[in-house]
């Protein structure tokens, strides 16, 4: 089983072929195939290959869907001063299926 560590959106993800991951939103359309160039490590069985910064491998993926996560409510409160604030945020994410690790 091949494993790889990729970097996207300022975060690192451990991926394998056939795995679906949820990452920061990508500027692509659903069904589009693309590749991740920032590969930090590739492991194939007992063989592990690591680059100094990035390893010269490509991870091919397909964008399944774009969606937004459920709302996160942020409440601020200061006692004795009548200070109350409520804010909400919905993070946009992309669901990606890993097709191949080369």
Q: Average pLDDT of 16-24? A: 97
**100 has which bridge partners?**
60
Q: What is the pLDDT of residues 57-102, one digit of tens each?
A: 999 999 999 999 999 999 999 999 999 999 999 999 999 999 999 9
Q: How deeply is 54 buried, as exposed, middle or buried, from its count of CB atoms within 10 A (0-12, 13-18, 19+)?
A: middle
pTM for the structure as a whole: 0.86
Contacts of 69 (CB under 8 A, 6+ apart): 90, 91, 92, 93
Q: Is the pLDDT of residue 24 over 90?
A: yes
């Amino acid at each position: 089983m091949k494993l790889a560590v990729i970097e996207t959106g300022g975060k690192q993800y451990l991926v394998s072929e056939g795995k679906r991951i949820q990452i920061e939103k990508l500027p692509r359309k659903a069904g589009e195939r693309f590749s991740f160039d920032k590969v930090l490590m590739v492991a194939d069985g007992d063989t592990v290959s690591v680059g100094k910064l990035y390893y010269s491998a490509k991870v091919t993926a397909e964008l399944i869907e774009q969606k937004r996560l459920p709302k996160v409510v942020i409440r601020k409160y200061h006692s004795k001063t009548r200070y109350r604030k409520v804010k909400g945020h919905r993070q946009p994410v992309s669901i990606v299926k890993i097709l191949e690790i080369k």
